[in-house]
Amino acid sequence: MGRIKIIHMVWICCLAAVVTMSRNNGKEIPGFLGIAETREIVVNAEKAVEIKEIHVVPGQSIGTGQLLLKLDRPELTLRINEISHQLEELKVQQRLNTVDIRVRINQLNAQRASTVNDIEYKIAQLNNKRQINHGLTVNLKSIREAPDQGDPGVKMGLKSPIQVQIEGLEKELELGTHLIDIKLNALKEAMHSSKTAISIQVEGMEKELSLLTSEKEKLLKYSPIN
């Protein structure tokens, strides 16, 4: 009987152990097993470059579009600086040329206005004098039939001295303003031509600078993947 009891107790203990193990095996134990995936990013360059700055370290987690490193092409940087300097010089030259021509145009306009005012003033004085003389001759009956000093020789076909002076001043005004107008037109054409020539150079350099800047931007390498 004692042996049978011992056997029964052993079986009971084994059965309890099996049940306990079954319960433990049936439970889900949360956790993470394994190694995070790593990927290698290869950076390519079409021409010889230098590494200027590195913005990541081995094993660092990165995202799409993150800056990895900056490359450098010294000859590209030098060319960009040269063109930028030349471009600025051209723009300064264009402004100086424009300012210089405008100053000369303003001077000629002032000279023209002064010439016109001066001659027109002289003509006005002569016309006033002629009117005064005409009034005097009308009142003098003794010379009523004689040529009027204030009017061209109506009877004899002669011009009075005052009329001759007026016509001379009018010709002087026409000639003087015509010469100034020629100079003004020449300056305006020169200003336009200067702007056009420099603008063509500026446009060409700006296009080249834009292309070089695009090339320089390609030296910034970003992550294409997560």
Domains, the chain, ordered by start: 72-222 (1.10.287)
Question: What is the per-residue pLDDT across 45-100, written as a single tens digit (0 to 9) for each?
Answer: 667 778 888 888 877 777 888 888 888 899 999 999 999 999 999 999 988 988 99
Name, in order, each residue with C-beta under 8 angstroms of 217's C-beta and a sequence gap of 6 or more. Answer: none
- pLDDT at position 140, please? 65
Distance CA(226)–CA(30), nearest Å, equals 26
Find residue 113's DSSP bridge partners.
none
- pLDDT at position 126, please? 93
E strand spans, the chain = 50-54, 67-72, 220-222
Question: What is the per-residue pLDDT across 117-154, written as a single tens digit (0 to 9) for each?
Answer: 999 999 999 999 988 887 777 666 554 444 444 454 44
Distance CA(98)–CA(102), nearest Å, equals 6
* Total residues belonging to the chain: 226
State yes or no: pLDDT of 8 exceeds 80.
Answer: no
CA distances, 139 to each of 12, 45, 69, 134, 143 (Å): 165, 106, 106, 9, 9
State yes or no: pLDDT of 44 exceeds 90.
Answer: no
